[in-house]
Amino acid sequence: MLSVPFIRENFERVKTALAKRNKDFEPMLRQVLELDDKRRALKTETDRLLAEMNRLSKEIGQFYKSGEAKKAETLKAKTAALKEQSKSLAAELQNTEDALRELLLQIPNVPHPSVPAGRNEEDNETVFSWGEKPELGENPLPHWELAKKYDIIDFELGNKITGAGFPVYKGKGARLQRALINFFLDRNTAAGYLETQPPHLINEASGYGTGQLPDKEGQMYHIEKDNLYLIPTAEVPVTNFYRDVILDEKDFPVKNTAYTPCFRREAGSWGAHVRGLNRLHQFDKVEIVRIEHPERSYAALDEMVEHVKGLLQALELPFRIVRLCGGDLGFTSALTYDFEVWSAAQKRWLEVSSVSNFETFQANRLKLRFRDKDNRKHLAHTLNGSALALPRVVAALLENNQTAEGIRIPEALQSYTGFALID
C-alpha cells in the first residue's frame, strides 16, 4: 500500500510510473488526495469538539466534588448537544478513512524506473542468459512421460488421493525432492540466510500484511471453520514475522530462508500448458526473504539475483533472467526478475524463481519500520525470491538430462540424492 504523504510529495512521478502498468491511475490518485484533505479537515474539527467535551467533563467533576451540583447540571445540558455533534462527525471521519483505505488498497506499487513498458510476458526484457540448450536427438520425452517411465512421480495416484495438481513422488523421485530442498537450504544458509520453519497456515492479518488479501483472496485455500489460509508461498509467514516490528538500523540486513510446501488454487488457469509439473496446486519451494535499509535494497536485490544464478549454474540448467515489464509486474512489486529454465523436451522456458523488491509497499501494511541513528522511524524495504521452486526445476532436470541409460543427476546434487542416475 502506498502512503498518502508519498503520493502527495511525488504526485507526477507516481502517476507517470504507474502508467507503465497500462492503466491511468491519475483519477484514483487525485481522489486519494481529496479524501485525505477531507479526512484531515474532519479530524481537526472532531478533535476540537472532543477537546471541548473533555474540558467540560473535568469541570463537571470539579463542581460535583465541591458540592456545586447545580452548576454541574447546567454544564451537563451543554455537553449533550456537543456529544451529538461529535458523534456524527466521528462517523463521517470513519467513513472517509474507510473510503481512503479502500482506494489505497486498489493502487499497485510504483514500478522502478528500470521497469520496461509492455503489456505481457512477451515484452519482458531478457537481461542475462546462461548455458547451452541441450541437443536431445530423436523424440525426447516430456517430463511427465519420463516420470512414468521411471515410476518416480505418480500423477494418477495423486488424482485418487486428492485431485489434479497434487502429485505423489515415489522412490528416486521423492528422494530427488528431498535432495533439492536440502541443497537449496544449504546454499541459502551458507549465503547468510537464517533457516526457519514457519507455519503453513496463516491468519487473516498475515494475508493482509503481505498483500495476498484482499486482492488474491480466491487464490488461496481457505479453511473457513478456523478462518485460516494455506500459504501460497513462504513469503507470507516469513515476511509477517516482522509485522508490527520496529527494527534497529544495525539489525540490517535481515535474511531468512524457509522451505515450505505452497498451496495455490490456480482457479481458472488450467489449459494446454499445464501438464505434468508445470502447474500444481501443491508444490515445494525454498524461499529467501530480506528486510533492508531503503538505501541498500537494490544492492540486496542484485545480491539475491546473483545467489539464484549460482543455484541454477550448480544444477547445470540453462536459464535466462528477465526483467518483468509493467504489464507483467505483480501488484505489490516495484521491480521483479524472473528466472526461467529451458525445458528441452517441451521447448519452453519455465519460470522457477521470481525475485522482487517491494520497497515500502508491504512494509507500510505490515507496519515494519526501523529506527535510524537519530531515533527516527522509517519504513523498511522488503524483498523476496524463490531459491528455488522445485517442480519446474525437476521438469527441466528430467527432460534436459535424459539419456539412453537414464536421467543424469548433476554433480552438485549427487551427495544429496545418493545416486547419479535415475534408471
Partner RNA sequence: GGAGAGGUGGCAGAGCGGUUGAAUGCGGCGGUCUUGAAAACCGUUGUCCGUGCAAGCGGACCGGGGGUUCGAAUCCCCCCCUCUCCGCCA
Q: Any idea which residues carry the catalytic annotation?
A: 264, 279, 351, 354, 392
Q: Which is nearer to RNA, 369 or 392 (CB)?
A: 369
Q: Beta strands of 85-238 (E only): which ranges?
A: 125-130, 153-154, 168-169, 194-196, 201-202, 222-223, 228-230
**Which cell numbers in the block locate residue 412?**
552438485
Interaction with RNA in 302-361: which residues (CB under 7 A)? Answer: none
Q: Is position 56 an interface residue for RNA (rule: CB under 7 A)?
A: yes
Is 377 a residue that touches RNA (CB under 7 A)? yes
Is 54 a binding residue for RNA by CB under 7 A? The answer is yes
In the chain, what is the greatest distance between 2 CA atoms, to the nearest angstrom? Answer: 104
Task: Round to whole Å and give the CA distance between 174 and 154.
Answer: 11
**Shortest Cβ 67–RNA spacing (Å):** 12
Rg (CA), the chain: 27
Phi and psi at residue 116, in whole multiples of 5°?
-75, 150
277 binds RNA (CB under 7 A): no
101 contacts RNA (rule: CB under 7 A):
no
C-alpha closest to that of 256 among 174, 195, 165, 180 = 195
CA 172, 174, 180, 182 torsion: positive or negative? Answer: negative
Q: Are 208 and 214 in contact (CB under 8 A)?
A: yes
| Distance from the Cα of residue 29 to its chain's centroid | 23
Is residue 58 a contact point for RNA (CB under 7 A)?
yes
- Shortest CB 286 distance to RNA, Å: 23
Distance of closest approach, residue 160 Cβ to RNA, in angstroms:
24
CB of 313 to RNA, least distance (A): 39
64 binds RNA (CB under 7 A): yes
How far is C-alpha 307 from the chain's CA centre? 19
Instruction: Tell me the per-residue interface mask from 29 to 48 with RNA, x by CB under 7 A, - otherwise.
Output: -----------x--xx-xxx
- 141 contributes a contact to RNA by CB under 7 A: no
Position 189 contacts RNA (CB under 7 A): no
Residue with cell 503489456: 119
In sign, the C-alpha dihedral spanning 251, 261, 176, 410 is negative
Q: How many residues does the chain have?
A: 423
Residues 6+ apart with CB under 8 A from 343: 143, 349, 350, 392, 395, 396, 399, 400
Q: Report in angstroms how near the CB of residue 338 gets to RNA at its nearest.
A: 35
Asked if 139 is part of the footprint of RNA (rule: CB under 7 A), the reply reads no
Q: Rule CB under 7 A: say whether 76 interacts with RNA.
A: yes
For the CB of residue 376, give the shortest distance to RNA in the complex, in Å.
Answer: 9
Site string for RNA, 214-253 (x = CB under 7 A): ------------x---------------------------
412, 401 contact by CB (below 8 A): no
Site membership for RNA, residue 364 (CB under 7 A): no
Rule CB under 7 A: say whether 51 interacts with RNA.
yes
Residue in 369, 400, 401, 409 binding RNA, rule: CB under 7 A: 369
Residue with cell 504523504: 5
Our finding on whether 168 is near RNA (CB under 7 A) is: no
Q: Which residues bind RNA (CB under 7 A)?
A: 40, 43-44, 46-48, 50-51, 53-58, 60-61, 64, 76, 79-80, 83, 226, 369, 377
